[in-house]
Amino acid sequence: MKISAINFLAPSHEVAHQLIGATFTVSGVGGIIVETEAYDQLDPASHTFVGKTKRNAAMFGAPGCAYVYRSYGIHWCLNFVCGAEGHGAGVLIRAIEPIVGLQTMIERRGVDKISLLCSGPGKLGQALAVVHDFNGMPLNKFPFELIPAQKPADVICGPRIGISKAMDLPWRFGLSGSPFLSRPFR
DNA sequence: GCGACGATTGGCT
DNA sequence: GCCAATCGTCGCC
């Protein structure tokens, strides 16, 4: 059965699962989403766990929009807001298989190994030129383009990476066997 | 107003 | 495998 659109109203872990295999580009640069992580407000590891603040406001906004935050003062990371509006849930895009605009991504990243272009939230942000201006912008409008997977992807899940809370939730999703993951699944 | 810390990365040991 | 880089945000004084 063909999926016509991502349902951003679904719980974050379902959206995170749906997004694996989807094609995502920013200004025509990007590829296939191969790794995501889900977060929601009841989740101690989520930015929204402490309630709405100036920083995380976009995640409490309309589903289907972007939430962009700075990590370690260095990297820009991209999330998709999901769940009902006001839920403070979202999906962190962790890795993409580079397909479109390879040369552009190589120049932005300063590396020429394809598997190192988008294999991590910060790298992906650099390769797709994610900026804080994208915060709160709808994903169905320029410069974004999101095309759902046309066939069911072989999705695996496991514990999330780089967090110190709620380590037990298996809310990291990935495309099975992909060489473009930030880290392999066990 | 100020100090602590992080959904990471990449370079060095 | 370990650790520094680097700065916006949050929470408290």
- Residue boundaries of the structural domains of chain A: 2-175
Tokens linked to A152: 């069911």
Confidence of residue A186 (pLDDT cuts 50, 70, 90): confident
The torsion defined by the Cα of A90, A131, A104 and A80, in degrees rounded to 10, comes to 10
Spanning CA of A87 to C1' of C8, the rounded length in angstroms is 24
The chain-wide mean pLDDT, for chain A, equals 95
Fold for A2-175, please state it: 3-methyladenine DNA Glycosylase; Chain A (3.10.300)
Strand ranges in chain A using DSSP code E only, listed in sequence order: 23-26, 29-39, 66-71, 75-82, 89-100, 144-147, 155-158, 172-175
Q: Does residue A83 carry a pLDDT above 90?
A: yes
Asked if the model's pLDDT at residue A139 lies above 70, the reply is: yes
Identify nearest nucleotide to residue A75 by CA to C1′ distance.
B8
The integer distance in angstroms from the CA atom of A37 to the C1' atom of B7 is: 8
Burial class (CB in 10 A: 0-12, 13-18, 19+), A179: exposed
Asked if the Cβ of residue A131 lies within 7 A of any atom of strand C, the reply is: no
- Strand C at less than 7 A from CB of A42: no
H helix or E strand, kind and range, residue A15: helix A12-19
- Nucleotides in chain C with any atom closer than 7 Å to protein CB: 5-11
pTM score of the predicted model? 0.95
> Where does residue A10 fall: left (phi above 0), alpha (psi -120 to 50 degrees), or beta otherwise?
beta
Closest by Cα among A174, A12, A6 to A97:
A174
Closest protein residue to C7 using CA and C1' atoms?
A73
Give the CA dihedral A83, A67, A108, A28, nearest 10 degrees.
50
Chain B bases near protein Cβ (<7 Å)? 6-10
Estimate in Å the CA A72 to C1' B4 gap, whole number. 13
C-alpha–C-alpha distance, residues A6 and A80, integer Å: 11
Segment A153-168, tens digit of pLDDT: 999 999 999 998 998 9
A167: left (phi over 0), alpha (psi -120 to 50) or beta: alpha
